[in-house]
Structure 1
Amino acid sequence: MLTDQKLVLLPLLLLLGASAQRADAAQISFGSCTPQQSEERGFCVHIESCPFLYTILKADKTTPAQRTLLSKSQCGLDNRQEGLLNRILVCCPVSKRGAQVANGNNAAEEHLPGNVLPGNETCGIHFADRIVGGRNTTLSEFPWMVLLQYKKLFSEDYSFNCGGTLINSRYVLTAGHCLASRRLDMSGTALHAVRLGEWDTNTDPDCVPEKNGKTTCAPAHIDIEVEKRIIHEAYVPNSIDQLNDIALLRLKKSVSYSDYVRPICLGINEDVRTNIFEGYAMDVAGWGLTEKKVPSPRKLKITVDVWNLKACQDKYSTYKVNLNDNQLCAGGKANVDTCGGDSGGPLMVAINTGGREVFYVAGITSYGPDPCGLQGWPGVYTRTGAFVDWIQRKLEA
C-alpha cells in the first residue's frame, strides 16, 4: 500500500515543469496493474515511459481531474534513480504505451557483452497475472521461454522438438540431450534456430481479447539462428543416468528485450545456487505433448512439487538409474507432467527479491517416466545451481 508521502508526490511534480529531465533509467515494467478509470490491463512503468500521463505532466495547464488522475495512477517508486521525477512509477494502460515503450527495451542491458548476466531489475520479471493451478498461460507469461527449431537434413522441413530458457541477450540454456542423442541421429534432424516471443504456434501475431472488448496482440515471434552449441563436457548422450544434462546456445545476434522476450534470472547468489528446493512448488511450461499425445500449439504450464532426492532415487533405482545432488525431482501427480517436446525447458521458482516476485531457473527438464504423467513418478531435472560456474565460464563477450 502506498504511504501518504508517496501519494502527494505526483501533484508536487506538476510544480517541477517540463524542464526536469529523466535519468537513463531502464524502460522496463515493474509488474501488471489496473489503471484508474479503466478495466484494461496496465503495466507499472516510469512515467516518461507512459506518453499518455507524461503529456499531462508536462502540460502548462492541468485540470483538477488530470491532477487527480496523475496522483491515483502512481504505482510505486524506483529508488535506484536519482531525482524525484526519475523515480515515479505509474500504472499505464496497455493501449496508451508508446511504440518505444511497448517494446520495453532496456538498452543498457541489451548491449552488455554476451558474458554478462542481467541484474534482477531486468531478469525474471513476470508481467502477467498468475493463474494458480491453471494450465493455460497468458500472452506475456514466462517471456524467457524459447522453442528450439530443428531442420531435417537435405530438406526444408522444420519442427520444434525441445525448449530452452533465455538467460541474457545472447545465450539460451537448454538440455544436453536436445543437442546430442540417439533419437536426434535417427531422425536425421539438427538444431537450426531458436524462436522467442512465441505463445501459440498456430497464430502470428498472437492476440487475446481483453475484458473491455478490445484485443491485445503481441509482436510477431522472432527466429534467430544458433551460432554455437556448447554441451557439458561430462555429459554422456544416451546414458541411463543423464548426468550433466545441460547445454548452452549462443545466438547469432543479440536479443532485444520486451514484455514478451526477457531473460530469466540465474541463481548467482549462494543461497539460491545451493538450494535443493525440497518441498517447493514450482512452475514448468512448454509446448510438449499433451494427454492427447500431440504437441500443444499454445504454451501450457503446470505446477509441480520438488521431491526429497532420496525418495526419488528409491523410485528410479528400480530401473538402475543413479541420481546425484546435481539433479532435482519434481511432480509425480497423475496426468500432470512434462512430456516429449518439453525437454530443455525451465523448472522455475519465484523468489521475493527486492520486494517483488522474481523468477529463477532452478532446473532444466531432463527426463521422466514413459508414459508421461504416471502417479508417484516425478520428472528429473538438471539442478541449475550446480552448474552456475560452468555456465559463467562458457559465456563469451
Structure 2
Amino acid sequence: MTGSGCCFAAGLLLLIGLTGGDPIPRPCVTPSGSAGQCVPLEQCSNLYAIKQLSPANAKNDLLKRAECDVLPAGKGVCCQPERIFALPEKCGLASYDRIANGNETAVFEFPWMALLMYRDTLEDELTPNCGGSLISDRYVLTAAHCLTENAHSKLEFVRLGEHTISKQEDCNNYTLDGVVELDCAGPVEDVAIESVIKHSDHRRKFGGHDIGLIRLARKIVFKGD
C-alpha cells in the first residue's frame, strides 16, 4: 500500500472512532457555575431522577439549563462528577417477592397505580381496602377478591393520583445545585365504576385465579408523560 493509501486508511479509522462507540465526557460548567462533565442524561443520577419523577412542565426548564453537547454526537447534560454513574446493561433479580415493609415509592414513580375505595355500610365511611393498576383509559386490573362485596362493604369508586392517603398534597423534594425544590402532584381523581369482571374460576376460599377487571364509567385523560 502506498504512503497516501496508508494515511487515508488511518484517517478513516480515526473518523470511525470519533463518530461511534461510547460517549466521551467533556468538561463543562453547571447552571450554578460548578465544574462538571457533559455526559448522557442516563449517567447523571440527580438529573435523571428528576426526569423520571417529575412531570414535563416542571422538569423541562431544569434539564434545558443543564443541556450540553456530548461526543461523538448528541445532547447531554452538565453533571457534577461525583453524581455520575453508569447504568448496568441488565437488571438484577429481586431478592423479595413481596413489597410489604419495603421502601416508600416517590411521587410520580408509579402513576398508573389505583386505589379502590369502599363504603362501610355500617359506619357510612369510605375506606381504601385494595389497589390496582390502570392498564388503559377505561380499565383497572386488580385482584378478584377485591371485587367480592359483602353485606358491610361495597366498592364505591376508583381513586387515581393518590400517593399518601394522610396528606392533602403529595410532593417530592430534591436538591439541584444546592437548592431544595418541591415538585407536587395535582389533586386526586375519583372515577365511578361501570362494571366489574372477576375470573370465572375464582373462589375466595381457595384463593386461585385471583384476578379481575374494573371498567370505569368514563375514559381517563392521561396527564404528563
TM-score, L = length of structure 1: 0.34
Q: Residue 150 of structure 2 aligns to which amino acid in structure 1?
A: D
- Taking the TM superposition and a 5 Å limit, the aligned residue runs for 1:1-397 are 4=19, 34=44, 41-43=49-51, 52=61, 69-72=67-70, 135-153=103-121, 156-180=124-148, 184-186=149-151, 188-211=152-175, 212-236=179-203, 238-239=204-205, 241-258=206-223
Change (3 A) 1:40 1:166: closer
Change (3 A) 1:244 1:156: same
Find the structure with the greater CA-based Rg. 2
The Cα shift of 1:176 comes to: 1.1
Partners of 2:42 and 2:48 within 8 A in 1? no
1:261-312 deviations in whole A, cap 9, x for unaligned?
Answer: x8xxxxxxxxxxxxxxxxxxxxxxxxxxxxxxxxxxxxxxxxxxxxxxxxxx
Change (3 A) 1:191 1:70: same
Between Structure 1 and Structure 2, the one with more strand by share is 2
Q: Residue 134 of structure 2 aligns to which amino acid in structure 1?
A: L
1:161, 1:134 → 2: CA distance?
19
Partner of 2:180, secondary structure, is: coil
Q: Residue 50 of structure 2 aligns to which amino acid in structure 1?
A: G
Change (3 A) 1:162 1:52: closer
Q: Which runs of 5+ in 1 are unaligned?
A: 8-30, 57-65, 77-88, 92-132, 263-397
1:233-287 deviations in whole A, cap 9, x for unaligned?
Answer: 2222x32x2222211001112223345xx8xxxxxxxxxxxxxxxxxxxxxxxxx
1:53, 1:243 → 2: CA distance?
48
- Runs of 4+ aligned structure 1 residues displaced above 4 Å come to 3-7, 31-35, 38-41, 49-54
1:53, 1:198 → 2: CA distance?
25
Partner of 1:226, secondary structure, is: strand
Change (3 A) 1:178 1:209: same
Aligned positions, number = 159
CA RMSD of aligned residues (A): 4.1
The Cα shift of 1:198 comes to: 1.3
The Cα shift of 1:147 comes to: 1.0
1:32, 1:196 → 2: CA distance?
29
1:208, 1:52 → 2: CA distance?
17
1:157, 1:205 → 2: CA distance?
21
1:196, 1:52 → 2: CA distance?
27
Q: Which runs of 5+ in 2 are unaligned?
A: 1-17, 24-40, 78-100
1:231, 1:144 → 2: CA distance?
20
Q: Residue 191 of structure 2 aligns to which amino acid in structure 1?
A: I
Identity percentage of aligned residues: 29
Partners of 2:51 and 2:59 within 8 A in 1? no
2:19, 2:146 → 1: CA distance?
53
Partner of 2:150, secondary structure, is: helix
Change (3 A) 1:70 1:256: farther
1:214, 1:179 → 2: CA distance?
40
1:168, 1:235 → 2: CA distance?
23
TM-score, L = length of structure 2: 0.56
1:252, 1:155 → 2: CA distance?
26
